[in-house]
Structure 1
Amino acid sequence: MKIKSSEFVISAVSPKQYPDDGLPEIALAGRSNVGKSSLINKLLLRKNLARTSSQPGKTQQLNYYRINEELFFVDVPGYGYAKVSKTEREAWGRMIENYLREREPLKLVLQLVDLRHPPTALDVSMYEWLSHYGIPICIVGTKADKLTKSQMPKHGKIVRETLGMPKGQPLVLFSSETGQGRDELWSIIEQAAGLPGETPAESAE
């Protein structure tokens, strides 16, 4: 994907705030601090479009980013952060579930897991929930640069086995530091969004 334009559009908390232009949407889900913002920035070759935070759970809305006037990335609130009230967690949960189940332009969920560690119980629950409702999923193992090349296959196998992934379901090993997995992930995104594939290229920021 040649990035010609990318912009933050809105932090939405209800369907009436979602964009209504019908562009395909790619959602990013994962527990807090798994690296969603860093992944967005690396995919878009931007340094600070999606703001990273040392405070887990900071994303409390659905953050929409428009790319090339062709599709949206939708950053979903991170799950598994305990320092918010039960009421807040339940409200986020309802918003996220309604979005993932009912949003017609949603074409794919990128579920991010930390490749360094086995998926958590919450990771497994999210994966099983998405699978149950037939929502297309691509698992992204983040922070791959923290492992050696020889460790990656073993850790990838652990992710597949822990989640119970079927053969053929994509697992992309990704690093926001080195760019590993960027081209592979863009290819999957373009296919899911129904966009013509392009030779990945650097954008002029």
Structure 2
Amino acid sequence: MALNFAKAEFVRSAGRREDFIRDGLPQFAFAGRSNVGKSSVINRLVGRKNLAYVGASPGKTTQVNYFLIDRRAYLVDLPGYGYARVSQAEKERWAKLMESYFQEEADRITTGVLIVDIRHKPTANDLVMHDWFRQTGCPEIVVANKLDKLKKSQVEPALQLVRETLELTEADILLPFSAEKGMGKEDLIRLLVQTCGG
């Protein structure tokens, strides 16, 4: 199916498992650590500057946020993990929320989108998230954001490090991306549409 990502609207923030949306529409789940530019990737996809909140400090996405795309699919913005300067209790609350989303909503996740920083080796938290997506059995797209920060000669070695760390195979999708410049946007939209039968 064709999806118009420019037709996007915020629907709900779920801070508890009871608030998860379960209406049968496809769900594209976006995950990434706190300062990886996840909100910027989402905003680039939908062509808006502030649909997903872009914080000056990392860790502003503290709930599971649902955005309705073209009234036919959800883009699900999961809480960022890693660097955010918040209390241990708050981090534990996020972790429980994420765990319940992956345990209870696994059948509803159409595609997992794991956003990593192309400039750095994926973290232990990235590996955990990658494993969670794999366990759901859904297709996963690894988006290597901040492509614009590298010289051309640095790109392939950086992608190779991501492949090796996440143990990606030739069949896995690794997409270089720049939320800042828009590089990779059309490819990501095409891949998302393909995974939900388009």
TM-score normalised by the chain length of structure 2 = 0.91
1:111 aligns with 2:131: no
Contact 1:30 1:123 in 2 (8 A): yes
Cα 1:33–1:69 shift into 2, 3 Å? same
Cα 1:124–1:4 shift into 2, 3 Å? closer
**Secondary structure in 2 matching 1:151:** helix
Task: List runs of 5+ in structure 1 lacking aligned partners.
Answer: 197-205
**What's the counterpart of residue 10 of structure 1?**
12
**What's the counterpart of residue 81 of structure 1?**
83
Indicate the larger mover: 118-127 or 36-45.
Answer: 118-127
CA offset digits 1:159-198 (Å, max 9, x no partner): 000111122100011111221111111111111222x3xx
Match of 1:98 among 86, 97, 100: 100
Which residues in structure 2 correspond to 1:1-205 (within 5 Å)?
1-81=3-83, 83-103=85-105, 104-194=107-197, 196=198
- Would you say how many aligned residue pairs link Structure 1 and Structure 2? 195
User: Displacement, 1:82?
Assistant: 5.2
- Cα distance between partner residues in 2 of 1:4 and 1:129: 29
* Structure 1 residue ranges, 4+ long, deviating more than 6 angstroms after superposition: none
Q: Which amino acid aligns with 1:144?
A: L
- Cα distance between partner residues in 1 of 2:5 and 2:30: 18
CA RMSD of aligned residues (A): 1.6
Q: Percent identity?
A: 44
**What's the counterpart of residue 203 of structure 1?**
none
**Which structure: greater helix fraction?**
2
Cα 1:49–1:157 shift into 2, 3 Å? same
**What's the counterpart of residue 199 of structure 1?**
none
Contact 1:71 1:193 in 2 (8 A): no
TM-score normalised by the chain length of structure 1 = 0.88
**Secondary structure in 2 matching 1:27:** strand
